[in-house]
Structure 1
């Protein structure tokens, strides 16, 4: 069963929350972050992406950047931009995007559970990104952004969470720049104890998003445990570094969006020959009539934008290896049946001939890219959360760029400092 704990959060100042909270560090590059923070000393990007306060050209992975992150975090606390809560507790965080509301409980998850596989993973991390977040967390002595965790069979947790959200006054409400609303509630100490006890009945949780944050938290915990052992310090297992901040979402509250692909080249293959080669593994229909929605409607279906026209592709049944969970995923089928054999694209992480577009940008972004810097685009059907959990249960790893979660919580609304 998982260990979930309350903690004393560092909360964005109520009156200035809209100036403080910022998108997660990994959805903006340095220049975009610098532009967003321009003219706003309270923008939390100064803490989560501290290189924006250093001269252009600074090595993003230098100790100078991590030290600046610690300096900025301490400054934010000293100025009262973020303030220590009065009690250890849990928090309810809701994001509303359009008509959809997503509720989760912010609490500490266990490094030991991560190590022992009770917090289940489905993605590999990129070593450089993992090292970057490890160094920043260790230097700042803090967790800045939460890991997304999903859980099943927590009806009592979900019931009480919704009762609080519907009856209690929020701590703060912020309308984000992307038309997403963010709302935070403070749970009572008694309710926090209730949640802690109920989570003790949950056998495992699943990382939905935030594999690098989780891995970095584990790394910090491991380093500090090793240091304590060297110093002869006996540990209880409840030390702050043995936990990390996470939002725990009931599985019913999460929705995975499509994660689409654009191709920079067809390797001198003509459009007609490309379609012909695809038709060996997919039933191809189209071009679609103008006004037809090109969005895929079911599993094993994707759509292709090629030559200013959309085509619908359905994987032929005999091409699906139904004995293998990974090979049944649409993203893996596309790689195995099209990208690799036809174009020679085998390493999605490093091959510069392919790029990825999150579903939040819509299919218009795919056609836009094909008129700017690409020659074709594949719109994918979203992975289902049940598929993700089955793959994690089996100890398997999903292909890169398979899942895109929205809406995303903002960094800086609630942070967690070790001391």
Structure 2
């Protein structure tokens, strides 16, 4: 199987974009999802519902939940909201978003990648997954028989790949859609051009940047498949060259279980770190974070780690080692009840507003770069929870891979 192959894809029709497509599932609160799905039966959030969206008395009705998701997907098929392409195709996908007063643009290739590692092929990972989450996603994939949110991958860029992708954008797109948050443009690539494009990534190492749970779910679905169902041998992915990736941080907020005063906390932090008052709310370099406490910002220089692996040298790990664990008692940042993560796109103002409201302590992080992520993956290490926030995230419901249709075409 090639590393990136075409599929008979479905692309949302332009007139249905606003009604159907959504941001990522976890970009909404349960309350927001409830309002959207109750008011709009065409929203793709009806297809991606999870336990959080169920009333208390139905929390254990997994089968009912998944059947409802399938009905929502079937409703979209019957309403004919998608353009259909029977010939296996790759799709060049460009996303433009506003960022820091400018426009960030990245262009990648949407196709299928193998689910199983082989001796000559491997997709490198850097993040641990929660089995209960990947299990539900696996069952969702098998029941709904469709996927829409591609796993995000990256690879090392080269001029030949960049030129080939750009050449594809000289043709007429099959979709152009734009709103205040994002512009999306899609070009279909088939036949010999698709084969040549696939060949250009055949010798490249691929790295997951977003979608570890989706990959784990695809692996589990294949493992449990009785007939080694061919569509389950691959999964939907989008591959962006590394030089176009935008990496933002996850900022941290922590509550103090001991209810110490601001001065007591500052003294404790100053005992292990160099800190000074600052008018800046953004750290300028690696090894530096901005502490926000009692409506005042402080520049904090993190001590070097006592560890000797790559992950231990990252700012998120150094903050955890020297401050969050010993001072705030955050032993497991993935499950601790008094820690809150603020995605980079929400901005520093959200950190400040929340801290001013609940009197928690904010830590504004400097972003990792894509090389950090790739180096960690190559070393076989795992990042701490919420180490990076990759932008932009493809909209749900734009692409659909219909496994049942794919089986019939084959």
Question: Do both share a fold (TM > 0.5)?
Answer: yes
> Counterpart in 2 of 1:189?
191
* CA pair 53-367 structure 1, distance change in 2 beyond 3 A: closer
> Counterpart in 1 of 2:41?
41
Structure 2 Cα separation of the partners of residues 113 and 2 of structure 1 = 12
Q: Secondary structure at the match of 2:316?
A: helix
* CA pair 132-147 structure 1, distance change in 2 beyond 3 A: same
Q: Secondary structure at the match of 2:353?
A: helix
Question: C-alpha deviations, 1:186-235, integer Å up to 9, x for none?
Answer: 12332211112112121x211100111111011111111xx12xxxxxx6
Structure 2 Cα separation of the partners of residues 143 and 107 of structure 1 = 12
Deviation at 1:118? 1.0
* CA pair 15-340 structure 1, distance change in 2 beyond 3 A: same
Deviation at 1:255? 1.3
Tell which deviates more after alignment, 319-328 or 126-135.
319-328
Question: C-alpha deviations, 1:18-47, integer Å up to 9, x for none?
Answer: 222111223223321232344333221121
* CA pair 219-374 structure 1, distance change in 2 beyond 3 A: farther
Alignment of 1:265-280 (within 5 A): 265=256, 267-280=258-271
Structure 1 Cα separation of the partners of residues 385 and 154 of structure 2 = 20
Deviation at 1:341? 0.8
Structure 1 Cα separation of the partners of residues 53 and 346 of structure 2 = 29
> Counterpart in 2 of 1:231?
none
Tell which deviates more after alignment, 266-275 or 71-80.
266-275
* CA pair 215-50 structure 1, distance change in 2 beyond 3 A: closer
TM-score of the superposition, structure 1-length normalised?
A: 0.90
Alignment of 1:152-301 (within 5 A): 152-165=156-169, 167-176=170-179, 179-202=181-204, 204-224=205-225, 227-228=226-227, 239-265=230-256, 267-286=258-277, 288=278, 292-301=279-288
Structure 1 Cα separation of the partners of residues 24 and 302 of structure 2 = 36
1:312 to 299, 303, 307: 299
TM-score of the superposition, structure 2-length normalised?
A: 0.91
Q: Secondary structure at the match of 1:324?
A: coil
Q: Secondary structure at the match of 2:116?
A: helix
Deviation at 1:253? 1.2
> Which runs of 5 or more structure 2 residues have no equivalent in the other structure?
405-410
Q: Secondary structure at the match of 2:345?
A: helix
Deviation at 1:56? 7.4
> Which runs of 5 or more structure 1 residues have no equivalent in the other structure?
229-234
1:347 to 332, 339, 354: 332
Structure 2 Cα separation of the partners of residues 17 and 59 of structure 1 = 31
Question: C-alpha deviations, 1:43-100, integer Å up to 9, x for none?
Answer: 2112122779977753276110111111221221122012431321001112111110
Q: Does 1:378 align with 2:363?
A: yes
Q: Secondary structure at the match of 2:200?
A: helix
> Counterpart in 2 of 1:390?
375
* CA pair 160-22 structure 1, distance change in 2 beyond 3 A: same
**Paired positions, count:** 400
8 Å CA contact 2:127–2:212 kept in 1: the answer is: yes
